[in-house]
Amino acid sequence: MPDPLPPAYTNETFPFPPHYSFPPFFTLQPNPLTRTSQLQSWSSLILSYTRHHRLSTLSVVESYNTPLFHNPSLNRRLPTSDIREILTYMSSKDGGERVEWIGKHGKDGGAGGKCWVYWRRPEEWADVLESWVERTGQKGVVLTLYEIGEGDATVGAEFHGLDPELLQKSLGVLVKKGRAQIFGAGEDQLGVKFF
């Protein structure tokens, strides 16, 4: 019996593109031009899928059996080596640097080959956060990391429910720009003041 899917992967409403139903899509092609086009198509699909399901990370091992890489109607599954190759492509300049491997052995299979998938980069999230601060009059206000990511005041905001680590990375961008200050110890006690 297959392992149950993580909750984020069980929503069947994601609109897969037509090429997802084309069997050769699940085999990386040897021709360089065809392969590049295929890598771009997979990149686009991964970004759309993770955005739809609000996923910030992917693990090669954990996502192998999900609908993203397994089309049961075709009885086709993308091999883990090809998943890893696509994610590595996505981490390159040619792939738009939309993936960042977690840990020094992420792309080599450590920790299941886990990576950040940036359907919106930390810099882009920082812009969204900054717009929210301006729009809602939060300048000079101290908020906890929890209030920003999970609080009632942010329900409906694009960043509500964002992975806490990605939220911290995004806030770090604002700190570097001199637009915020983070203080406190431990994730539960972090405070953020916006300028």
pTM above 0.85, yes or no: no
Task: Give the residue-averaged pLDDT of 118-122.
Answer: 94
DSSP summary character for residue 77: E
The helix, strand and coil proportions of the chain, stated in percent and rounded to the nearest 5, come to 45, 15, 40
Q: What is the DSSP string of 43-69?
A: HHHHHHHHHHTT--EEEHHHHTTSTTT
pLDDT at residue 12 is higher than 60: no
Which H/E stretch holds residue 193? strand 191-194
Per residue in 35-84, pLDDT (tens digit) is: 999 999 999 999 999 999 999 999 999 999 999 999 999 999 999 999 99
Contacts of 127-136 with C-beta under 8 Å, sequence gap 24+, read 128/157, 128/158, 128/159, 129/159, 129/170, 129/171, 129/174, 130/174, 130/179, 130/194, 132/157, 132/159, 133/194
pLDDT at residue 102 is higher than 50: yes
Rounded CA-CA distance 167/187 in Å is 11
Contact 186, 193 (CB under 8 A): no
| 55 contacts: CB under 8 Å, gap ≥ 6 | 8, 49, 117
SS3 of 28, please?
A: coil
Ordered domains of the chain (ranges, CATH): 7-117 (1.10.10.570), 122-194 (1.10.10.10)
Per residue in 145-170, pLDDT (tens digit) is: 888 888 888 888 889 989 989 999 99
SS3 of 181, please?
A: strand
Question: Which tops the pLDDT comparison, 105 or 33?
Answer: 33
